[in-house]
Structure formats: structure tokens, C-alpha cells
Amino acid sequence: MKKAKALNQTYIRQWNKKFMIINHPILGPRDANEFVYKGDAELLNRPHWTPNATKRATYAEQEEFHDYLYLRNNPAGEHKELWYHEQGDRSWLIITRDTLTHQISKVELVREFLKEKVT
Amino acid sequence: MNYSALKVFFQGLSGNKGWKPMWREPEPKEEYDILIVGGGGHGLSTAYYLAKEFQEKKIAVLEKGWIGSGNIGRNTTIIRSNYLLKGNQPFYELSMKLWENLEQDFNYNAMISQRGIMNLFHNDPQRDAYTRRGNSMMISGAGAVMLNEKEVRRVAPFLDFDNARFPIKGALCQTRGGTVRHDAVAWGYARGADRLGVDIIQNCPVLNILVENDKCIGVETAKGTIKAKKIAICVAGSSSQVMNMAGLKLPIESHVLQAFVTEGLKPVLPGVITFGAGHFYVSQSDKGGLVFGGDIDGYNSYAQRGNLPTVEDVCEGGMAIMPMIGRSKLLRMWGGIMDMSMDGSPFIDKTKIEGLFFNGGWCYGGFKATPASGFCFAHLLSKGEPHETALEFRLDRFQRGAVIDEKGQGAQPNLH
């Protein structure tokens, strides 16, 4: 019985390592089920959209926005992606995860990331 | 060797010793006219139709593992042509027509079983939406029947009709829909293509695509460099990886979709049934197992393995429409890698590199499209212009604003 319980614990630990738990920077380890996947973190780098009612977008600007909106790197391996803690504190996270193993190596808050980017 | 009942009889008399391998195992030649990367359903059917319908010679199919080891071997085997939009529906109807004649065409038993598909609806707006879809199906010649609650009760009395949240009010039914023995499709196409002289080269991963002056000249593989005039990519979940070798970025994300099979049961399901309020679809295999699936897990993955929250979600969907499913034991489940496109519709198109063609973005609807995908891709490869039913599956459709978004979800691949 004790042995079975220990085995079970190892199994859960391995399972958690692989994916199920996201170690939230503020709230600690949370079930991934509380979060919503919001796509590649590249989406944070939105190109500037200068055209307005009087100035039409140039071809290059349209192209740039198309690439931003529709094309993805879609790597097999390490992937930086956005997760939204919908059933928690509603924070946005950048999670570095391996798409081949589902293992999460880094979790950071988007607001911290953007702060660094601005300064 | 043509298969027939007589052959089976005589082979039975002689101890079944006269059967020969269904395809050769050739070494790659130095050069081909058309090189197909990816020996799954779509790659093999492309090779088959190229050789048979378009009389192309010198074709090879390169496969990383063994043929049919990808999504053709791990889907829920449903065929149907019940789409709404005009960019999609004629194409899937072509596919359905090819399915109906497939076994005679390639002389192989693919166990095509047109038991019908029922899309349940639970409220008035949904009935209106399904009526609209049914009309679109009838325009394309696919045929559609609206069943009321009584008629659904007659064929599937076990459903939870009086569910408090999602009472079943009827269904949109396509009687020509059904299921197919999925592996047999790959084997049948492989045998058919091989008999027409196509080289099927297994265990031969492509390591690089050779491009000179914006022109594709060949591929580097584990078995040496192979030159080709035209290179056709149909690698499903690995699309982004392979096209990246040629420096192209695609409107595709790879996601994992799980499928499930229960223990074998006596015949209970009349055909394919889909839930209208959640994402759940179920059919019964010829062995008796209930084969079912639901949503993709929702995050980028190449792992061919999903996670438990989605398992729970799919099983909840099953319990919501047919509570009796809870009495059967789940035998096994598995995951496949889907090339989810930005609008949920596929691509069959040239690329900006001359001689490089792309077929992908099938999301989780690639199996039913296998014959038409191969046929239309072969048409494009051979004649240089798209088939009339695949005119809108273009790679530049997002630039032109000509998306084919059946669900209206926008550029959110995990929601399609």
C-alpha cells in the first residue's frame, strides 16, 4: 500500500513536470485548466498602424500587418506563448514551453515583460 | 494481382501462400518528375491520381516513417460532405463521390460504410442554421434531410432527449455520410500507386529543400539528394517545419487532437452522431468499439499526446447526449498533430518558389477530404492550375480578405 502510494506520487510529479501545472509568478502552482491559450507571444509585437481616414495604407504596411496577424513560426521545440488566467487573477502570462514534450521552462507576467521592453 | 472473391477462395485452398507484398520497396532514383513529400493519405492519393488520371510518369513518394503512420492512422474515420460555404462544399462533395466509388477504383476493400451522419440540434436558432446548411448541401448535390425529434427517437432512442439544458429537438442528417476503415485507405492508395509505377520510399526523412534562384530543384534526404522538377508537400502537422526548410512561413499552427475508443460492444449506434451544444462526435467501428472525439487541446503541440482536461471535456460531451456511454470502458486514446489554419480551411496551392507546391492546413477535417485532396492536388501539379472545386484554397487568401471561415472565429486556430 505504501509502495503504491509512493509510486502514485512519483507518477503525479512526472505528470506535473510534463504539463498540467503552471507555476504562476504571483499565485504559485495552478492547474493549467484555469488558463486560456492565446497564441504565440510574437503577437505582442504588433506593427504600428499609421494609416487613417485620409492616408491609405501602403502595400508594405498591409503586408506587414498580414504577416503579423496570420503567419506563425509554429516551432517544434521551445515556444513562447500567451496564456490568460481567466479563472484566476485575469493576468496575462508569457510561458516558455516545449511543444514536443509540453514541459514548461519559464513563466513570466506580460506586464513585467512589457515594462522591461519599454525601459 | 487483382483482388477478388475468387482469389480469396483459391488462396484459401492453397494455404494463403500465394499472396505477394502490396507494394515494392524501391531505392530512390536520382531524379523524378514529381516528388511527393509525405506518405500519408493525401500524399498517396495524390500519387495515385497523378499516375492514374493525369498519366504522369516518374513519381515518387517520400515518407519519414512508414506509410500511413500519421493522421490517416489516427483519426475518427468519418466521411461527410455537410459544409456550408461555397468555397468548401463542392470540394467535399467531390470527395464524397470519389469515396463512393473508391473500392472499385483501386480494387481494395476500404470498408466504406455509408450509415449516415446526424448533427443534432437543441434549439430554434440552431434549427434555422442547420436548415440553411442543409440547403447549401442540397445545392451542391450532396443531399440533406431534416429529422424532427420523433424521427431521431426512432433511429437513436438512447439519446438524452429530455436533457434539461440541451433537449434534442431534431437533427440535420446526411444519409451518404459514414465511416471508412482508415488504414485501408492508405494501403489501397499505396498499392494502387505502386502498381502504376510510383516509387514509395519509406524511412526516408527529408532534411532540406534545395532552392536555387527562387526555383525548387530537389530535396536532400536521409537516402541522398533526389532531384525533381516539381515537389509537392503534404505533411499535415509538420507543414510549418518542412516549409521552413524552403524559407516559407505559413498561416498554420500545429495542435494536438485526441481520439478515443471504448471496448467492443454489440451494434448500438445507427451511424455517426454529433452533439450540437458541445463538441462531440461518435460512431461505432466494425469491431464494435465506440470511436469518439471532441475539441483539440488548444495549445501548440507536436507531442502526439494530449492532456487530461480535454479527455474530461470530451467525455462530458458524450455523457450529455448519450448517458449510456458511461457504462462502457474507455479502451484507448491517442493524439494526432493537426495543421490548424487561420480560418479552419485548407490550402492546395503553388508557392512563390517555382516548382514547390503545398497541400495542408486541413485542421482536423483532413480524412474525409483524402480522395478529393489527392485529386485536386494532382490536377494542380499536372496541369499547373487549380481544380474547379479547389479554386479558393489559396495561400494568399488572407491578403485578399477571401477567408473561408465556416465557424466565423477569425485568426484563432485553436477555436476552429
- In this predicted model, what pLDDT tens digit does every residue of B277-333 receive, in sequence order? 989 999 999 999 999 999 999 999 999 888 888 999 999 999 999 999 999 999 999
In a domain, A62, yes or no: yes
Of B335, B347, B324, B344, the closest CA to residue B393 belongs to B347
Query: Residue B390: pLDDT above 80?
Result: yes
Q: Report the Cα–Cα distance between both ends of chain B, in Å, rounded.
A: 43
Please check whether residue B133 is in contact with residue B121, taking contact to mean a CB–CB distance below 8 angstroms: no
| Residue type at B45 in one-letter notation | S
Residue A116 Cα, gap to closest chain B Cα (Å):
26
Nearest chain A Cα distance for residue B390, angstroms: 21
Which one-letter DSSP state was computed for residue A16?
Answer: I
Handedness of CA B75, B78, B83, B89 (dihedral sign): positive
**What is the Cα–Cα distance from B397 to B402, expressed in whole angstroms?**
5
B34-78 pLDDT, tens digit per residue, is: 999 999 999 999 999 999 999 999 999 999 999 999 999 999 999
**B106 confidence band (pLDDT: 50, 70, 90):** very high
* CB atoms B303 and A101 under 8 Å: yes
CATH at A69: 3.30.2270.10
pLDDT at residue B133, as a whole number: 96
B207 phi, psi to nearest 5 deg: -100, -30
The C-alpha atoms of residue A78 and residue B159 are separated, in whole angstroms, by 44
CB-CB under 8 Å, B342 with A74: no
Q: What is the mean pLDDT of residues B147-151?
A: 96
Cα of first residue to Cα of last residue in chain A, in angstroms, is 56
Chain B CA closest to residue A33: B309
pLDDT of residue B253: 96
Domain contains A70: yes
Report phi then psi at B107, rounded to 5. Answer: 50, 55
Measured CA to CA, the distance from residue B195 to residue B190 in angstroms comes to 8
ipTM of the complex as predicted = 0.89
pLDDT score of B141: 93
Q: Which of B238, B299, B342 sits opposite A37 (nearest CB)?
A: B299
CB contact (8 A) between residue B301 and residue A102: yes
- Pairwise CA distance, residues A66 & B250, whole Å: 11
Q: How much is the mean pLDDT over chain B?
A: 95
CA atoms within 13 A on the CB side of A100: 6
pLDDT for the residue A12? 59
> Is residue A102 helix, strand or coil?
coil
Cβ–Cβ below 8 Å for A40 and B253: yes
Kindly write down the DSSP assignment for every residue of B48-81, as one continuous string: HHHHHTS---SEEEE-SSSTT-SGGGSS--EE--
- How high is the pLDDT of residue B176? 96
Q: What is the pLDDT of residues B196-249, one digit of tens each?
A: 999 999 999 999 999 999 999 999 999 999 999 999 999 999 999 999 999 999
pTM of the model: 0.93
Confidence band for B166, pLDDT divided at 50, 70 and 90: very high
* CA–CA distance, B93 with B7 (Å, rounded to integer): 34
What pLDDT is attached to residue A14? 63
CA B148 to chain A, closest CA, distance in angstroms equals: 37
| DSSP bridge partners of B293 | B259, B281
Q: Which residue in A33, A67, A99 is closest to B300 by CB distance?
A: A99
The amino acid present at A79, given as its one-letter code, is H
Q: Supply the DSSP symbol for B113.
A: B
Percentage of chain B surpassing pLDDT 70? Answer: 100
Q: Residue A38 domain-assigned?
A: yes
Rg (CA), chain A: 19
State the smallest CA–CA distance between residue A114 and chain B in angstroms.
23
Q: Quick one: closest CA in A to B243, which residue? A: A73
Is residue B246 within 8 A of residue B211, CB to CB? The reply is yes
| The total number of structural domains that make up chain A | 1
Per the domain annotation, does A93 fall within a domain? yes
- Give the range of the structural domain holding residue A90, as residue numbers without chain letter: 34-44+58-119
Q: Residue B353 carries which side chain, given as an amino acid letter?
A: I
pLDDT of residue A56: 86
Return the closest-CA partner of residue B48 out of B90, B3, B107.
Answer: B107
Residues in chain B with CB shorter than 8 Å from the CB of A79 are 300
Q: Is the residue at A103 inside a domain?
A: yes
Task: Kindly determine whether residue B254 and residue A99, on different chains, have CB atoms separated by under 8 Å.
Answer: yes
Verify whether the Cβ–Cβ distance A72 to B240 is below 8 Å: yes
* Distance of residue B20 Cα from the nearest chain A Cα, in angstroms: 38
The burial of A79, by beta-carbon neighbours within 10 Å (0-12 exposed, 13-18 middle, 19 or more buried), is given as buried
Q: How far apart are CA B45 and CA B98, in angstroms?
A: 11
Examine residue A66 and state whether it is found in any structural domain, yes or no: yes
Question: Is residue A65, in this structure, part of any structural domain at all?
Answer: yes
d(Cα B375, Cα B48) in Å, to the nearest integer? 9
Task: Please name the residue of chain B whose CA is at the shortest distance from the CA of residue A32.
Answer: B309
Cβ neighbors of A8 (< 8 A, separation 6 or more) are none
Residue B108: per-residue pLDDT: 95
Contacts of A101 in chain B (CB under 8 A): 303
The owner of cell 498554420 is: B252
Strand partners, B334: B259
Q: Collect the ranges in chain A with pLDDT lower than 70.
A: 1, 7-9, 11-19, 118-119
At residue A1, the pLDDT reads: 64
In a domain, A102, yes or no: yes
